[in-house]
Structure 1
Amino acid sequence: MRNRKELSLTTGLMLALTGCCAAPALAADLQADMPENVALEEDEQGGFHGIVVLGAGVQSDFEGAAEYAAVPLLYANLTAFGLGLEIEGPEASLNLRPDAAFQFGPSIGYDMGRDGTSNKVVDRLDKIDAAFEVGGFAAYQFSSLLAQSDVFEISAELMADVSGVHDGVSGSLGASYMYGVTERLRLGTEVAVGFASDSYMDTYYGVTSGGASRSGLQAYTAGGGVKDVSLGATASFNVTERWGIVGRVGYSRLLGDAADSPIVKKEGSADQFSGGIGISYSF
């Protein structure tokens, strides 16, 4: 169990719903949200354009917690020289084909671990150090399926620990749909299924014998498999040609050994909510 990578407002705003497909889904939504004349203008001046979102939100104190905390919201999607760089909180992805239907590229992430939580019982468990992860993503976009302004996307992401913290892998499979209600207003929704390996699950959801004696929770070994299912919704509104407002809400339900962990059953909740709002700027 870990602090969420991103306030994946998902997403993929930095509300780290994540463990969801928030990143690809939010990218599809916000890229389409950029005014066409702004993108064309920047292309003519060197091919550099993008969108940045800054704001604030709320998420669980750690994945599986019942307590919530306010967090900053950060999202950026930059395109130049035929490449796309997406930054969503402590995770970044390089899109090697940002203008194509089939997109893919490498990803890196930083997980803050678990230490000093607001739950005093969970805080007595073994400390989990911050982890560095590397991996990649792939996505395919279908445009104009039901309307001229819609985008349907299927995506997948896989990340592996390279810092020796959990020595496991985690990932997600997801789908999203974005629709332009008007020239200024766009709505998007997505669903995703998250999964993780044995070592990942036991690190974040397991309880060692030492942790059990200190916390009073039952010792527990968590196995790999499906970790959660997530839903998210995003709304973006262009106030001016470059400035806009983005809001997002998300819900995820922990499943399997994650939901059965005493950390979640006794001290937390399998139901995880998130939300946030930010100001966007297109350039």
Structure 2
Amino acid sequence: MRCVAYLAGLVLGLALSLPGAAQAQSSDYTQLTSPQSAQNWYLTVGAGLRYQPDYTGSDDYLFRARPIISLGRGLKSTWWAAEDDAMLSIGVFSGQGWRIGFSGDLLWKRNAKVNPALVAVPPTKFGGEAGAFAEFYPTSWLRARVDVRRGIVAHDGVVADLKLDAFTNLGPWTFGIGPRMRIASADYVRTYFGTSGALPGTGGLLQRFNAGVHSYGALAQATYHWSDRLQTTTYVEYKRLTGDAARSPIVRPFGSRNSITVGISASYSFDTGSNYSLGF
């Protein structure tokens, strides 16, 4: 229950710390949430660089590039976007302060050749996850989002990502912060954290896997708008594994339950002149 208390406390802190932002942005609510039914499309291209764990649960860090290719409909793509949103998000339906659409992610293969710490874990295949997302803006400065996806090839499980972001504009800057939680099925945990044999000092092979809270944490990011089209973003994300994943031998004692990811990205938007949202 500590993770639930953590999330509740962080959300309460955000709500109490940003009353001024809510008042200042109330008149700009429609611009932040793009409620119109027919608007121009904006193509965004760019690239990012992350310093992150080699795999979830690893204590080995590396730099990894991340391309940015997005196509979004709105008023200069002013829907709030977090750096840890799904690689692929296609907004299909939208209205005053809400939108619903397709959510997808790519998952890279993982084996002992990538990292020797994975020697006791069955290799995972390259694949993806596909599902849907829903966003809701209760105020002009707060976004709630949930993504639910099922594995394709890589695993047979289901994951749900829950996010809450408070954000505000200060001149050319946009700042955002919010808690995160992932809920995963037993099949997902078994695929990525189940071992193929007992390891010394680990208490033996995990025999049973349970669905439930997989991880929790928070993300903070700052974006500088050089112009209406060009922007750069820097961000930091904290994540803590819990449940069966945290007890896996690749996490304890050979990895870490806690991880920090930092990154930077730059992107440029083009107005296509046409009357959904893609992101990688």
Work out whether 1:153 is the aligned partner of 2:118.
Answer: no
1:15 matched residue in structure 2: none
Out of 129, 134, 138, which is 2:134 matched to? 138
Indicate whether 1:175 and 2:168 are aligned: no
Instruction: Write out per-residue CA displacement over residues 139-165 of structure 1, whole angstroms, 9 at most, x where no aligned residue.
Output: 101343xxxxxx2011111111232x4
8 A Cα contact 1:154 1:175, kept in partner: yes
Partner of 1:108: 104
Matches within 5 A, 1:1-283: 47-80=40-73, 91-98=87-94, 100-116=96-112, 118-144=114-140, 151-163=141-153, 165-182=154-171, 184-209=172-197, 212=198, 218-221=204-207, 222-283=209-270
Q: How many residues align?
A: 229
Q: 2:193 corresponds to which letter in structure 1?
A: Y
After alignment, is 48-57 or 271-280 more displaced? 48-57
8 Å contact kept, 2:121–2:194? no
TM-score (structure 1 length as normaliser): 0.71
SS of residue paired to 1:264: coil
Residue identity in the other structure for 1:74: P
1:176–1:89: structure 2 CA closer, same or farther, 3 Å change rule? closer
Moved more, 171-180 or 103-112: 103-112
Show CA shifts across 1:233-276 (max 9, x none).
11011223432221111010001111111110111000011011
- Secondary structure of 1:262's counterpart equals coil
CA RMSD of aligned residues (A): 3.0
Q: TM-score, normalised to structure 2's length?
A: 0.72
3-state DSSP class of the match of 1:57? strand
| Separation in structure 2 between the aligned mates of residue 88 and residue 269 of structure 1, nearest angstrom | 20
Change (3 A) 1:55 1:227: same
The amino acid of 2:240's aligned partner reads R
Q: Percent identity?
A: 24
Task: Name the SS of the counterpart of 1:73 in structure 2.
Answer: strand
Residues 57, 241 of structure 2: 8 Å contact kept: yes
Please state whether the residue corresponding to 2:93 is helix, strand or coil: coil
Following TM superposition, the consecutive aligned residue runs of length 4 or more in structure 1 with deviations greater than 4 angstroms are 84-90
The structure-2 alpha-carbon separation of the partners of 1:90 and 1:191, relative to structure 1 and needing over 3 Å to count, comes to closer
Residues 240 and 109 (structure 1 numbering): CA distance in 2 closer, same or farther, change over 3 Å?
closer
Q: Which runs of 5+ in 1 are unaligned?
A: 1-35, 145-150
Query: SS of the residue aligned with 2:221?
Result: strand
